[in-house]
Amino acid sequence: MKEFRLQPKILFGEDSLEYLKTLKYKKVMIITDEVITQLKLVDLVTNNLSPMTEVKIFDKVEPNPSIITIENGLKDFIDFEPQCVIALGGGSSIDACKGILYFAYKLYKELDKDNKKIFFIAIPTTSGTGSEVTSYSVVTQGEHKIALANDLMLPDVALLSTKFLGALPAKVVADTGMDVLTHSLEAYVSTNANPFSSSLAMKSIKLIFENLVTHYNDRKIEGPKENVQFASCMAGIAFDNSSLGINHSIAHSIGAKFHIAHGRANAIIMPYVIEVNTEANKRYYEISKELGLPADTIEEGKSSLLSFVRILKEKLGIEKCLKDYGVDFEDFKREIPSMLSDIKKDICTEYNPNKLTDEGYIRLLLKVYFGE
Ligand SMILES: NC(=O)c1ccc[n+]([C@@H]2O[C@H](COP(=O)([O-])OP(=O)(O)OC[C@H]3O[C@@H](n4cnc5c(N)ncnc54)[C@H](O)[C@@H]3O)[C@@H](O)[C@H]2O)c1
Ligand SMILES: [Fe+2]
């Protein structure tokens, strides 16, 4: 039996923040990062909560959140005992919040407080990881990124508002937008894809194709900003149901080892993974056809998609390969055995269209490094 899950409830539109006024919880904890508090974006949330609500803000989440940050957040969570948590931020803040909740539930279970349910609202400020609609959390432990998946971490409400997106730096838009495209492409070609996940993945790809560059060039224009946010959320629902692929497994490993933003790592890797995924050629051709790119044959369709990805990377100022990004080759070579082990263990690897041997992975990693 297969399942397509539609959770959480998604609220969007100009007045979506009004929803916060309806909350009746006495204690609300907000998990975010310092940039969000400095930009006063957190005020958009607190100003909409009831004046009777006691609010605790934990804003110590760093990009690619570590297990130590999650432990620190957990301490505050246990002291404060909120009935509702609001994750406000990019994937890092939402994932950290999920990690805190995951360990809090584990603790409650040990204390026999199994029935304690914390209402969980996720508000993304990047577009994005789609973490507001997924049961995944990616945490960093030393030089390794670990992707956890558990329904306890699925938000109850995903609240989308473009009001948070006006101050996004262009680089963050480029990185996170390419993360969206990686999610939708990997969801579409996943061996676990189904018609529901594929339709959302395809729409997400189309929205990125039509809007990402305009949004990157001018982050104030409302239409493209909103469309990229929709694309992010749709890709999240798609991949939560279909899973991802080795683009993400490799990005998790190199992101943690060489300190590269998640979306940028995905973008650097993307064309080389598309090339290697020959089992999905027909799916890539379908995407090109949908986008109106030259696709008279399957080969032409795949090649058009590859050209689109390469041009998009250039327009967004993304490096062609890890060498161009500035990663030292000796450092890279030394890490190959550890990267191989990371990739094979990663939960994203299972449903990738092509199954690679160790030699295949090494060939691919060298292409990602040298760009040829
Ligand atoms: N849970 C999932 O399903 C999933 C999927 C993909 C990636 N991830 C994880 O998510 C993390 C990356 O998340 P991300 O790409 O959203 O980046 P991020 O949350 O790390 O944010 C990137 C930077 O942008 C800043 N920022 C965020 N919103 C802003 C705004 N509105 N205005 C100005 N600055 C803003 C942040 O302070 C940070 O410095 C990684 O750890 C990655 O592994 C999770
Ligand atoms: Fe991602």
Domains belonging to the chain, first-starting first, are 9-164 (3.40.50.1970), 170-370 (1.20.1090.10)
pLDDT in tens, 332-341: 999 999 999 9
Q: Is the distance from the beta carbon of residue 264 to the nearest atom of ligand 1 less than 6 Å? A: no
pLDDT in tens, 28-38: 999 999 999 99
The arithmetic mean of pLDDT across residues 164-183, rounded, is: 97
Q: Is the distance from the beta carbon of residue 239 to the nearest atom of ligand 1 less than 6 Å? A: no
Q: Is the distance from the beta carbon of residue 161 to the nearest atom of ligand 1 less than 6 Å? A: no
Query: Is the per-residue pLDDT at 325 higher than 90?
Result: yes
Residue 369 Cα to ligand 2 midpoint, Å, equals 20
| Confidence at residue 38, expressed as pLDDT on a 0 to 100 scale | 98
Mutate-to-test residue for ligand 1 from 129, 133, 176, highest number of ligand atoms within 8 A of CB: 129
Q: What is the mean pLDDT of the chain?
A: 96
Q: How far apart are CA 123 and CA 239, in angstroms?
A: 19
The arithmetic mean of pLDDT across residues 198-212, rounded, is: 98
Q: Which atom of ligand 1 is nearest to the CA of 138?
A: 43
N-terminal to C-terminal alpha carbon distance within the chain: 42
Identity of residue 171: K
pLDDT in tens, 347-362: 999 999 999 999 999 9
Query: Is the per-residue pLDDT at 179 higher than 80?
Result: yes
Q: Which atom of ligand 1 is nearest to the CA of 65?
A: 41
Q: Is the distance from the beta carbon of residue 346 to the nearest atom of ligand 1 less than 6 Å? A: no
Q: Would you place residue 372 in the very low, low, confident or very high pLDDT band (cuts 50, 70, 90)? A: confident
pLDDT in tens, 56-90: 999 999 999 999 999 999 999 999 999 999 999 99
| Confidence at residue 216, expressed as pLDDT on a 0 to 100 scale | 98
pLDDT in tens, 96-124: 999 999 999 999 888 887 778 899 999 99
Residue 187 Cα to ligand 2 midpoint, Å, equals 11
| Confidence at residue 144, expressed as pLDDT on a 0 to 100 scale | 84
Q: Is the distance from the beta carbon of residue 125 to the nearest atom of ligand 1 less than 6 Å? A: yes
